[in-house]
Amino acid sequence: MSVALIRVVSPNYELCKLGFFETPTKLVDSSRFTRSNKIKNVGYKKHKCNSSYFDSFGESDFRDLKNGRKRKSDVVSRVVVANPTGELAVSSEQMVYDVVLKQAALVKEHIRAREDLEVKPDIVLPGTLSLLNEAYDRCGEVCAEYAKTFYLGTRLMPPQRQKAFWAIYVWCRRTDELVDGPNASHITPKALDRWESRLEDLFNGRPFDMLDAALSDTVSKFPIDIQPFKDMIQGMRMDLVKSRYKTFDELYLYCYYVAGTVGLMSVPVAGIDPESQATTESVYNDALSLGIANQLTNILRDVGEDARRGRVYLPQDELAQAGLSDEDIFAGNVTDKWRSFMKKQIKRARSFFDEAEEGARQLSPASRWPVWASLLLYRQILDEIEANDYNNFTRRAYVSKAKKIVKLPIAYAKSLVPPTSRNGVLMKIIGM
């Protein structure tokens, strides 16, 4: 049953009245997204938790740090590592995989109950349909403004799915702007706690404003678990207090929080092809890999920008192994040591993209093209870093519109290949 629009208020309502800030100000709310107010780009900073997944269209014993490739068969068999005190601690990747298993189980239950992932007609409460339509329209406008190419991809999907993607995107963007938006200096851990409480309300059918209502309606129709949304908020908490990552295991968890979560949110909406022979868990794991790959790409692209903010989103132990330090990054000199270090980091990011490709093949036909386009377009940023001779201190890797256009028909061709043909003759014919 569609969610009731309880406590839907005017889009101009100031969220500071909920106590989000310690000082009176306005949080990013739906007033910024009304048709009467032009949407302004306030400028993304580091994690781009939503845009890293959307905008391009928008040697350890647990992970081979040499190439960064995950081994799914090892996930369960290597679940713990020893910390300095001798106690056993769950690795970051196992923590994340537990969320994958939970979401996959939810989808399986949904499939058993409804036979497939197609959205079915709901009973709409009197007076709510027009408000919901307006809420989704607002979300679509935001997506069109900030994730232009992805927005065009969503337009190829059935209406229910495209609206659901818009609602997820807007929530992610609003969450991101809590710590990277114009009012970021006013945000405290308590503010994020209140935002999480508001998230729980909308999952329980009690949206606060119209944009919340769109997501509340979406999660009532698709088998979407709340945990990835909570985990994204946890990533925002990390950004308030953390600017260094000792190991890749720490960085991996951060990448999951701010970008991998979007993959887990998206698969229930994208749907899995009924012909797919892959396990639900593996499809979710591959979607997670796409989010990780996008975020690692963001990090490598924005090294100079982050350094100017006093942040280093690179594994400290790997920097040390390469003979580098934070001071070298702040100095911004492209040396042979830096080139060698960057080659390894790019190789790791590409390995995550490679893994994500398998999951893209398993999605429903209506969703494959946008996802393939996102994957192919975003990974081109890594090519541009190389073309810039690894100077990501003063030069921003940028993929031209012409290069993007070239990739779109390739993405479309890949999207036509059904899951059962992924190793067949058709893939060879189109150069896959």
The half-sphere exposure of 194 on its side-chain side, counting CA atoms within 13 A, is 16
Lowest-pLDDT choice from 8-12, 82-86, 174-178, 289-293: 8-12
Flag the least confident range among 49-58, 281-290, 395-404: 49-58
**Residue 96: predicted pLDDT:** 76
> Which pLDDT does position 90 carry in this prediction?
59
* Inter-residue contact 225 to 269 (CB < 8 Å): no
Question: Is residue 396 pLDDT above 50, yes or no?
Answer: yes
Q: What is the pLDDT of residue 61?
A: 31
Q: Distance (Å, rounded) from C-alpha 258 to C-alpha 264? A: 12
The band of 222, judged by pLDDT with boundaries at 50, 70 and 90, is very high
pLDDT at 19: 39
At 137-160, the pLDDT tens digits run 999 999 999 887 678 778 878 899
Mean pLDDT on 202-228? 94
| pLDDT at residue 251, as a whole number | 96
Q: Is the pLDDT of residue 328 over 60?
A: yes
Show Cβ contacts of residue 231 under 8 Å, excluding neighbours closer than 6 positions.
Answer: 99, 256, 257, 261
Amino acid at 315: P
Q: What tokens appear for 24 in the block? A: 């009176």
The residues pairing with 90 across neighbouring beta strands, listed in sequence order, are 80
Residue 117 has pLDDT above 50, yes or no: no
- Statement: residue 39 has pLDDT above 70: no
What tokens appear for 321 in the block?
């192994």
Reference 54, options 223, 225, 265; nearest CA is 265
Please say if the pLDDT value at position 429 is more than 90: no
The mean pLDDT value of the chain amounts to 77
pTM of the shown model: 0.74
For 197, counting Cβ atoms within 10 Å of its Cβ (0-12 exposed, 13-18 middle, 19+ buried), the class is exposed
